[in-house]
Structure 1
Amino acid sequence: MIKRSTLRAQIASALRDEILAGRLPAGSHFTVKEIAEQYGVSATPVREALVDLAAQGLLDVEQHRGFRVHEFTIDDYRAMVKARMVVLDGLFHGYFADDGPVPMLTLDDAVLASVRRRAEAAVRAARAGDLDVLIGYDLRYWRELGDVIGNRYICDFLDRLRVQCWVFSVPCLRAERDLANRLWSGHRELVDAVERDDAEATQRLVTDYHQHALALAEKPMRSGP
Structure 2
Amino acid sequence: MPASGAVTRNTLRQQIADALRDEILAGRLQPGEEFTVKQIADQYGVSATPVREAMVDLSAQGLLDSDQHKGFRVHQFSVDDYRGMVEARSLIVDGVFRRIEERGEGQLPFGLTGPALVSVRRRAEEAARAARGGDLDILIGYDLRFWRELGALIANRYIADFLHRLRVQAWVFAVPFLRHDRDMLAWLWGGHEDLVDAITLGDVPAALSVIDAYNTHALRWADRLSAG
Bin the TM-score by the shorter chain: over 0.9
Residues 30-69 of structure 1: pairs in structure 2 closer than 5 A = 30-69=35-74
- Structure 2 runs not aligned, ≥5 long: none
Partner residue of 1:29? Answer: 34
8 Å CA contact 2:79, 2:226 repeated in 1: no
Q: 1:113 aligns with which of 118, 124, 127?
A: 118
Q: Deviations over 1:89-144 (max 9, x none)?
A: 11111222243441448978221111011000000000001111000100000010
CA distance, structure 2, for counterparts of residue 37 and residue 95 of structure 1: 49
User: Which deviates further from its counterpart, 213-222 or 121-130?
Assistant: 213-222
8 Å CA contact 1:95, 1:150 repeated in 2: no
How many equivalent pairs are there? 223
The CA RMSD measured in Å over matched residues stands at 2.0
Are 2:128 and 1:123 aligned? yes
Change (3 A) 1:161 1:104: closer
8 Å CA contact 1:123, 1:188 repeated in 2: yes
Q: When the two structures are superposed, what TM-score results if normalisation uses the length of structure 2?
A: 0.92
Residue 88 (structure 1) shift: 1.1
User: Which deviates further from its counterpart, 95-104 or 191-200?
Assistant: 95-104
Change (3 A) 1:103 1:168: closer
Residue 222 (structure 1) shift: 11
Letter in 2 for 1:151: N
Partner residue of 1:196? Answer: 201
Are 2:55 and 1:12 aligned? no
Residues 1-225 of structure 1: pairs in structure 2 closer than 5 A = 3-104=8-109, 109-220=114-225
SS in 1 for 2:102: coil
8 Å CA contact 1:28, 1:68 repeated in 2: yes
- Structure 1 runs not aligned, ≥5 long: none
SS in 2 for 1:97: helix
